[in-house]
């Protein structure tokens, strides 16, 4: 990573007057202009406003810049997250003209830290999918290979970071929507502990699946994003009390104890991802980690329970749109809403019972270990065009065939999870490893991620 090819280094240089915020933003805008026709990672690019904000930062005395942790750093915000005064469509034709009136807490905190928002990044409609394609904005493609998917639902953010358009981007994660694009695009993606970053953009304050999180080019940048955005706010009744800042990242234990699982006893894993994972685990063992292969309590039922909860959320939150806007909605969103409407209260309560049992069993697995490691995605990036993608299915051997294995950790949502690149597979495409920590141990997860990153330094597509 070159000297200023991280948010941490760039912000420090601008604070000290050794770099210009305007020059950083111009470079970001130039890269974004080149990348956008190829990968379609933005809904809008805010060139004029970004230049104005950067110029205002450059005009500040150095003493005032000292308080800006993200001083002049170009950042992308997912089109699921409002920005005051900006078109915020949620990837939907229904909201093609919707202009947000207020900034949520996370956007206010990023702005206050000196981040320069250069654009809104793409998402599938209402962030429903692990593949970023929407009726309004089309398909977002992977910067490593534009025939392939950038993942989702924060696919625009993952692609923009991998392509070098921005150094940091915000995402939301309800079932892996930060970690999936991180894995498929070869960047870092953090799902913090539930409540660590206030979540105030949903229609309910009592959802327990949803998280904000960063997509970043390195672990230190993800940690800096968390340090800037975390902490309680009454806008989110379930937000967590403040902790000491997550940045800088502490060193990992000299001999970390790691539980590992290739497939969470549930998923079909491609040979390419299995090879990357085994090689990483071998390198971790040679570097001093105590490795124990463990059996986990996850199952296909866990996947199905998450899918039912997801359908229930859609039926309750956007189901009202069916009556007047069915024809404008993604057919898959319509199907989700209709599936959610078929669920009854007793079935939903039974899911919560199983979710509770799952958490207790998983907490027992984590005892005695610093973290659990498993792949983030079961494959490298699939095709971007939905017509060329294989469907999720339960195989004859009982394994679940899908792109990702992330939703389990939204069911056990108090656990922080970070996806860190574990290298390029035989196809030349990246894949990530999930590091799953004890509940609320975001600092421990970041420390282990930094250690893994030392064994697998960041790599980006040649065009980036």
Tell me which residues are annotated as active site: 78, 153, 177
Crossing angle between the packed helical segments 442-455 and 219-229, to the nearest 10 degrees:
160
Q: What six digits make up the tokens of 140?
A: 């977002």
Strand partners, 214: 170
Place of tokens 């420390």: 447
Coil/strand/helix, residue 364:
helix
Query: What is the C-alpha separation between 375 and 379, in angstroms, rounded?
Result: 9
**Which secondary-structure segment (H or E) carries 155?**
helix 155-162
Residue 237 phi, psi (nearest 5): -65, -20
Q: How many helices (H) and strands (E) does the chain have?
A: 15, 17
Check the CA dihedral 296-300-305-307 and report its sign: positive
Contacts of 315 (CB under 8 A, 6+ apart): 336, 337, 338, 339, 340, 341, 343
Secondary structure class of 125 (helix, strand, coil) = helix
């Amino acid at each position: 990573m070159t000297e200023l090819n991280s948010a941490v280094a760039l912000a420090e240089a601008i604070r000290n007057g050794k770099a210009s915020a305007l020059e950083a933003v111009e470079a970001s805008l130039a890269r974004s202009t080149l990348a956008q026709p190829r990968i379609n990672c933005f809904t809008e690019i805010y060139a004029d406003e970004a230049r104005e904000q950067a110029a205002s930062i450059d005009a500040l005395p150095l003493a005032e810049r000292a308080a800006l942790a993200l001083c002049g750093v170009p950042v992308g915000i997912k089109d699921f997250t409002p920005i005051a005064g900006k078109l915020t469509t949620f990837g939907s034709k229904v909201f093609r003209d919707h202009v947000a009136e207020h900034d949520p807490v996370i956007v206010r905190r990023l702005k206050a830290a000196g981040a320069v928002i250069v654009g809104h990044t793409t998402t599938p409609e209402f962030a429903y999918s692990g593949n970023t394609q929407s009726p309004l904005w089309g398909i977002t493609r992977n910067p490593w290979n534009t025939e392939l998917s950038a993942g989702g639902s924060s696919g625009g953010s993952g692609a923009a970071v991998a392509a070098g358009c921005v150094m940091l981007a915000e995402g939301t994660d309800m079932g892996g929507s930060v970690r999936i694009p991180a894995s498929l695009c070869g960047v870092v993606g953090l799902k913090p502990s539930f409540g660590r970053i206030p979540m105030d953009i949903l229609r309910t304050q009592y959802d327990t699946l949803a998280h904000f999180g960063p997509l970043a080019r390195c672990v230190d940048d993800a940690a800096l994003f968390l340090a800037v955005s975390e902490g309680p706010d009454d806008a989110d009744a379930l937000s967590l009390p403040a902790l000491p800042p997550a940045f800088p990242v502490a060193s990992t234990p000299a001999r970390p104890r790691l539980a590992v699982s290739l497939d969470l006893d549930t998923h079909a894993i491609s040979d390419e991802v299995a090879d990357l994972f085994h090689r990483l685990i071998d390198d971790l063992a040679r570097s001093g980690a105590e490795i124990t292969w463990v059996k986990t309590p996850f199952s296909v039922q866990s996947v199905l329970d998450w899918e039912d909860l997801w359908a229930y959320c859609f039926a309750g939150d956007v189901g009202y749109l069916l009556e007047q806007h069915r024809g404008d909605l993604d057919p898959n969103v319509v199907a989700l809403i209709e599936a959610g409407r078929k669920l009854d209260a007793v079935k939903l309560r039974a899911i919560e019972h199983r979710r509770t049992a799952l958490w207790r069993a998983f907490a027992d697995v984590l005892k005695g270990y610093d973290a659990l490691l498993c792949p983030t995605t079961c494959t490298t990036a699939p095709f971007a065009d939905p017509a060329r993608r294989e469907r999720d299915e339960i195989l004859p051997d009982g394994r679940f065939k899908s792109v990702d294995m992330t939703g389990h950790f939204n069911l056990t949502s108090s656990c922080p999870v970070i996806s860190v690149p574990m290298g390029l597979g035989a196809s030349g495409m990246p894949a990530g490893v999930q590091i799953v920590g004890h509940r609320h141990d975001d600092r421990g997860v970041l420390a282990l991620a930094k250690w893994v990153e030392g064994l697998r330094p960041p790599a980006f597509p040649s065009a980036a």
